[in-house]
Structure 1
Amino acid sequence: MSNDRISAADPGEPIDVTPPVWAASPDDPDEDQGPRPPMSQRRRIVLASVAAVGVAGLAAVGIWGGRIISQQDPTMSTPASVAGLQLNNSADAAATAEDLKAAFAAGIDLKKSVGAVYTDPAATDRSVLFFGGTALLWSPAKELDTLFGLVGDESGAVDGLHEVPAGDLGGVMKCGTTAVDDGSNMAVCGWADHGATGMALFPSRPTEEAAGLMREMRDAVQSRD
């Protein structure tokens, strides 16, 4: 064969004989598919920590969901007597109860609401004004703070607001004081859980006494199936 038949390519340039990627056989060994190195200790710790956080998060969601289910759809009533107090059925008391319902219901969406005035047989100036209602409350503490804000709008800021034991029904309960027309302070207590909320005004009572009376009232007016 004559040299005239040789390709015109520069005979001094090396020829690349590496097969293109698409021409590689699927059976060819691939070093990326070889055995992986063992997982480092740091990576195992990180993954274990993430898994632990995930499990804890699921557990917290489960507890929160169980609490909602156990507290939803309660019954709210105003019995004739509560913790030694008597329900006042007079026209003035009924009008006051309606005013309470209207004032508080404007700030929170409730399925059912009740209002009542309870008279202390031992002292007429220690009557308790009560409001309560049922609803699915995703954030009881936030809803309770909203109610305290409404009390502040009506009669001045609620001072010294602090959390107190909520009792066997759970949820959150707080008490504070608000000023009245004669310059004295009146105790205010309220509670909220995932199914209900309630608040009461306690003239001529210290907050410690009001907190205990609020728990007794709650046990009487709120019930769960």
Structure 2
Amino acid sequence: MVDPDGGPAGLYFEDDDEDTQDDAPATRLPIKKIAIVAGSIAGAALLISGIFYGPTVFRVLGQSDTEIKSPDKVGSFALDKSDGAKSTSEYIRDAIASEVSLDNSVGLIYRDGSSDAILVAGTARIWKPDDVLQSAFATVADDAGGVKDAKDVDAGQLGGKMRCGTTKVDESTLTVCGWVDNGSLGVALFSNRGVPESAKAMLDLRNAVEQRN
């Protein structure tokens, strides 16, 4: 029998598929190896993120149960419950709360005879406390050219950050103090009270108003 191509029957053959596959260049991606490398990179990225952001997440969650109270008395200060006081404090509260997205907030005016304190305080999950405090200061002193000579002061046992400075309203110089942590913000305007005295008064107000469960 003669092969159709002219060769003796049985002597003509083609390379089988197995040999062809052995000689062909490798084109498959090393999926397993890539998966291992990618998994290592992802694990390292997660570890780095945890190192940088883990403490912040822990603080935010730990301070998410903060509540704001409105005590009638704080040291020598007494809460002014008049309609005029409520209207003034709530106007300032609305401006600050909308700017920094506070969840629950209060506007209060305290008086001790020689000095007044207009206080706005509220709760929120605050990821960047310093930025939020700067925004609150800018809002409360927007028409007065901002808060001047702002310096960090003792924040007390509740931690976070507290800062005081001054601003001009008409011909009067007011002291502005604010606190911020990962669960709350408070800003107060003090009349007839210097920065050191206002910082102490702000600390007393904060300890009475900010409550953590």
Aligned with 2:199 (options 211, 218, 225):
211
Q: Which has the larger radius of gyration?
A: 1
Classify the secondary structure of the residue corresponding to 1:162: strand
Alignment of 1:147-162 (within 5 A): 147-162=136-151
Q: Which amino acid aligns with 2:81?
A: N
Aligned to 1:200: 188
1:56 and 1:204 map into 2 onto residues whose CA distance is 49
For structure 2, which runs of at least 5 residues remain unmatched after alignment?
1-19, 24-43
What TM-score, normalized to structure 1?
0.71
What TM-score, normalized to structure 2?
0.75
8 Å CA contact 2:188–2:202 kept in 1: the answer is yes
Q: Which amino acid aligns with 2:164?
A: C
Alignment of 1:1-225 (within 5 A): 22=22, 58-121=50-113, 123=114, 126-182=115-171, 184-225=172-213
Post-superposition offset of 1:152: 2.4
Q: Which amino acid aligns with 1:165?
A: D
Post-superposition offset of 1:57: 5.4
Q: Residues 103 and 61 from structure 1, CA distance in 2 versus in 1: closer, same or farther, beyond 3 angstroms?
A: closer
CA RMSD of the aligned region, Å?
2.4
Post-superposition offset of 1:56: 6.7
Percent identity, please. Answer: 36
Classify the secondary structure of the residue corresponding to 2:100: coil
Q: Residues 106 and 56 from structure 1, CA distance in 2 versus in 1: closer, same or farther, beyond 3 angstroms?
A: closer
Q: Residues 105 and 55 from structure 1, CA distance in 2 versus in 1: closer, same or farther, beyond 3 angstroms?
A: closer
Classify the secondary structure of the residue corresponding to 2:99: coil
Classify the secondary structure of the residue corresponding to 1:137: coil
